[in-house]
Amino acid sequence: GQRGFTITGDERFLEPLNLGESNLPPHLERLVEIAKQDSFMLRRGMDLRAQAELSLNHQRHIVAVRRAEGGRAASDVVSTGEGRRIMDTIRNSVADLRGMRADLVSDNGGEARARMLRASLTSLVAGILGVGAGVFAFWLARIMLGHQERERILMEAKLQAERSSQEKTVFLANMSHEI
């Protein structure tokens, strides 16, 4: 934006610069918020914020020179290469941050994978214990049913023995009476 204004003097070319001045701070704040857990990355984000302010100040200076002293004076400020050096520094910082972000994501990804593995193993162990408890309960139920069946058979045998004993007593009483 500032370059077009420097060449032409047309204020419309400053719209991207003005838009960038208003949109950049929230993005930088978001970067700081994301990086606040990592002091090294936070420092890099703060450095980037400072470099962005330097770049904006440099562009504001060029715009002010163009307005006050004309296109030739603004062109002389641009030809010093200061703006290019600032932007190269910003590009390098952004590239470093992107690399750090990939490392940060993969480190967090490794931690998340480790937590997922622990959770999966915990679920697997809980499932195995649940199945084991179910099998144990089934085994106990089978034993209980076997005991109940034997108890029923013993009760029937006892009742049969009591009936036989009763019949024997009646038979002996009748025989004794007959004799």
- Report the alpha-carbon distance of residue 76 to residue 1 in Å, rounded: 17
Query: What is the C-alpha to C-alpha distance for residues 122 and 128, in angstroms, rounded to an integer?
Result: 10
Phi and psi angles of residue 42, each rounded to the nearest 5 degrees, phi first:
-60, -45
pLDDT in tens, 113-129: 778 889 999 999 999 99
Whole-angstrom distance, CA of residue 174 vs CA of residue 158: 24
- Among left, alpha and beta (phi > 0; psi -120 to 50; other), residue 81 is left
What's the confidence (pLDDT) of residue 129? Answer: 93
**Per-residue tokens: 158:** 């006892």
Q: Which of 34-38, 75-79, 86-90, 158-162 is the most confident on average?
A: 158-162
- Separation between Cα atoms, residue 51 and residue 34, nearest integer Å: 19
Q: Please state, rounded to an integer, the average pLDDT across all residues of the chain.
A: 84
pLDDT of 165 reads 92
Three-class SS of residue 81?
coil
Select the more confidently predicted residue: 25 or 34: 25
Percent of the chain beyond pLDDT 70?
Answer: 92
Using alpha carbons only, how large is the chain's radius of gyration in Å? 46
Place 141 in a pLDDT band, splitting at 50, 70 and 90. very high
pLDDT(50) > 70? yes
Lowest mean pLDDT among 21-30, 93-102, 148-157: 93-102
